[in-house]
Structure 1
Amino acid sequence: MQETNDADTTPTHVETAADLDARIDAADRLLVEFYTDGCGACAAMEPILGVVARETGVPVVTVNPRDDPALIDEYRIESVPTLLLFEDGDPVRRLADGFVGAERVIDFLA
């Protein structure tokens, strides 16, 4: 099992593209959830993402692209929640199937 610290096991919220870029640059692997306020499926993902971070050691960041609309175009966000996996600064996988359970997200990261 991969050793993690508290910062890696709790999803972190960022508000701007610059904040997100800094997190992407600082991590070898990073899972980003794009969500919006008032989205029930997005809110239901929060505890799932905490489980995923604890079980995989992959840091999780959440961002509302409406807080910085440039993110919508930059990452082609067409629906929420959308999960993007970044490896070495590049988006390598996308999951935009609405609410999914922890097992599905863990499989997505594998």
Structure 2
Amino acid sequence: MDDQTSTPTPTPIPVHLDDGDALESFVASHGTCLVEFYTKGCSLCQAMESVLGNVARSTGVSVGMMNPRDDPELIERFGVRSVPKFVVFHDGEQVASRADGFLGGDELTAFLETHAPAMDERA
């Protein structure tokens, strides 16, 4: 695994996170990032993976994917009541979330730009 703590590098593809510790590390190592909470067997969640990859490449924002069933404490912590749920983090803090089902790339990019406008300052 690369050490990204000193110079965060955007990931061009979604990163699968195994547990809460991996989530914390991912969020801490990126100024702005997006995390999708998903569950196995969710067809909408599976369809989002290619969209998330496109959004990561087009915006430079790193994207993580977390199955909260792998770490049940996260369900309560992030209020996961339906999936897919998208959470934007900036400087280690949650700044926005949305659980509206499938989102297209343009809609997800607009959501990021609205809630994490500082993402362009990293360039």
Q: Please give the range of the TM-score, normalised by the shorter of the 2 chains.
A: over 0.9
Is the partner of 1:22 in helix, strand or coil? helix
Where structure 2 has 5 or more consecutive residues not aligned to the other structure, the ranges are 1-8, 114-123
Kindly provide the CA deviation profile for residues 14-67 of structure 1, in whole angstroms up to 9, marking residues without a partner as x: 110011001111110010000000000000000000000000000000000001
Indicate the residue corresponding to 1:8 in structure 2: 11
Alignment of 1:26-41 (within 5 A): 26-41=29-44
Indicate the residue corresponding to 1:99 in structure 2: 102
Cα distance, 1:95 vs structure 2 = 1.4
Q: TM-score, normalised by structure 1?
A: 0.93
Runs of 4+ in 1 over 6 A off after TM superposition: none
Distance 1:93 1:74 in 2: 14
Q: TM-score, normalised by structure 2?
A: 0.83
Distance 2:18 2:11 in 1: 18
Indicate the residue corresponding to 2:56 in structure 1: 53
Distance 1:83 1:72 in 2: 13
Indicate the residue corresponding to 1:70 in structure 2: 73
Query: Higher relative contact order at CA 8 Å, sep ≥6: structure 1 or structure 2?
Result: 1
Distance 2:11 2:27 in 1: 13
Amino acid at match of 2:70: D
Corresponding residue pairs, total: 105
